[in-house]
Amino acid sequence: MSSRVLVLNGPNLRRLGTREPDVYGASTFDDLVALCRETGRRLDLHVEVRQTDDEAEMIRWVHEAADERLPVVINPAAFTHYSYGLRDALAQRTAPLVEVHISNPAAREEFRHTSVVAGVATGTIAGFGMLSYVLALQAVAELIAQDAAKS
């Protein structure tokens, strides 16, 4: 039976393909969803991809993941840099949590250099475009396998 994984995306990510293509590339959000689902199938993961521009909705999804012990891949987008509410929700995680970014925030504007999420994540993958999501899902699959081997 495949493990369920939530791939959560924050503000403006539904606009991929038209939003700053020089930074985020030409792939659309639908392309991202297809990539994550296909990667999940190869890794025996049931991947649910969600996007919201609403901080409260994102926090509800994180609570759902904690309550159901679901691994999470999260691109918090702008929430990365200031949402202590999201950070506190993520700190309640009960399964692997991988922070992911399409671009490399450390190579961008100064305000993007700080992640309030990174300190509560299992790890962070950034700067590899859409491949960042593939790498994050591979990491989640490996962490699930390690946990299963311990049981």
User: What is the set of active-site residues?
Assistant: 24, 101
d(CA 17, CA 142) in angstroms, rounded, equals 30
Give CA 46 to chain center in angstroms: 15
Instruction: Consult the annotation and say whether 102 binds a ligand.
Output: yes
| Contact criterion met (CB below 8 Å) for 45 and 69 | no
Q: Is 25 left (phi over 0), alpha (psi -120 to 50) or beta?
A: left
Instruction: Consult the annotation and say whether 144 binds a ligand.
Output: no
Residue where the block lists tokens 């925030």:
105
Instruction: Consult the annotation and say whether 104 binds a ligand.
Output: no
Instruction: Consult the annotation and say whether 14 binds a ligand.
Output: no
Instruction: Consult the annotation and say whether 103 binds a ligand.
Output: yes
Instruction: Consult the annotation and say whether 88 binds a ligand.
Output: yes
Where is the binding site for substrate, in residues?
Answer: 75, 81, 88, 102-103, 112
Binding residues: 75, 81, 88, 102-103, 112
